[in-house]
Amino acid sequence: MALKRMGIVKNYEEIMNFTVVIVGVGGVGSVAAEMLTRCGIGKLILFDYDHVAIANMNRLFYQPHHAGLSKVEAAANTLSFINPRVVIEVHNYDITHVDHFDQFVHRLREGSLSEKRVDLVLSCVDNFEARMAINTACNEIGQPWFESGVSENAVSGHIQLIVPGRSACFGCAPPLVVASGVPTIKKEGVCAASLPTTMGIVAGLLVQNTLKRLLRFGEVSWYLGYSALTDFFPTMMLKPNPNCDDPLCRDNQEKYKILGEEDSLPASDVAEEAVTHEDNTWGKFGIRMSKSY
């Protein structure tokens, strides 16, 4: 592996010990799952209630012969063929339903290879309700996770790292979405348009930062946006809202203050201070723009 050979990562083999949950195995999630499988991740747990349709063929990963299969079943078959050493666990249900939500939380708590809490959750869903369900579950057990999304017009997207207590949870996030100017949250329905290019780019950014966080190299982005129209990559960080509507988020903030413990971000990212945003009255809102050459 080049990362190890070039001295960027000392123990790349550790990737085989990690368990990553992917919720939503559509345009972004399926590609992220394939990338992690090719990288040699130890275990993937896939959640999706939908089935593959011919209409999905304008995206990546799925093929016409998958039509009619559940997305998790089709994904598991393909991923196991690519790398049979990866443990694949699938769940074909909607996590927003009450009974299924409890099962979802249980798998986050005990789904790792060591039957303990998973290492990371990747949200690749396309609706508000599922994002809020993931947010609630991760706040409940203190689970770090990445939120991701592609805009309805399919020409922009983003990823966001959420560490309960340390950074803004999804319930704290509306100011971030407004400030970024990227309408990636839709409260009703699903994304009407899709481009395999945008999906692939967002999936690549998501997996790249997943690898950096798990293997502790480079700088993990708290928030990284992408505009296809301008090739613009804004980065920023949003501190948690002390008045967040989610009591679990507020509890996590207090725990973080008391414990003062560092999460597993690389040192280069931990040491960085966010710049206070003038319009944000309740937290530090740092914005750092990418350079153009």
Dump pLDDT digits (tens) for 218-231.
999 999 999 999 99
How high is the pLDDT of residue 253? Answer: 95
Q: What is the mean pLDDT of the chain?
A: 84
Query: Do residues 59 and 9 make contact, with C-beta atoms less than 8 angstroms apart?
Result: no
Per-residue pLDDT of the chain (293 residues; tens, 9 = 90+): 678 777 888 899 999 999 999 999 999 999 999 999 999 999 999 999 999 988 877 777 888 888 989 999 999 999 999 999 999 999 999 999 999 999 999 999 999 999 999 999 999 998 889 999 999 999 999 999 999 998 888 888 999 999 999 999 999 865 445 445 444 445 444 444 578 899 999 999 999 999 999 999 999 999 999 999 999 999 998 899 999 999 999 999 999 988 765 554 443 443 333 433 344 443 433 334 333 33
What φ, ψ does residue 271 adopt, rounded to 5°?
-75, -15
How high is the pLDDT of residue 173? Answer: 66
How high is the pLDDT of residue 279? Answer: 42
How high is the pLDDT of residue 174? Answer: 58
How high is the pLDDT of residue 260? Answer: 67
Active site residue 191: yes
Query: Do residues 141 and 103 make contact, with C-beta atoms less than 8 angstroms apart?
Result: no
Three-point CA angle 160, 15, 3, nearest 5°: 85
> Which residue in the list 124, 138, 191, 244 is annotated as catalytic?
191
How high is the pLDDT of residue 182? Answer: 47
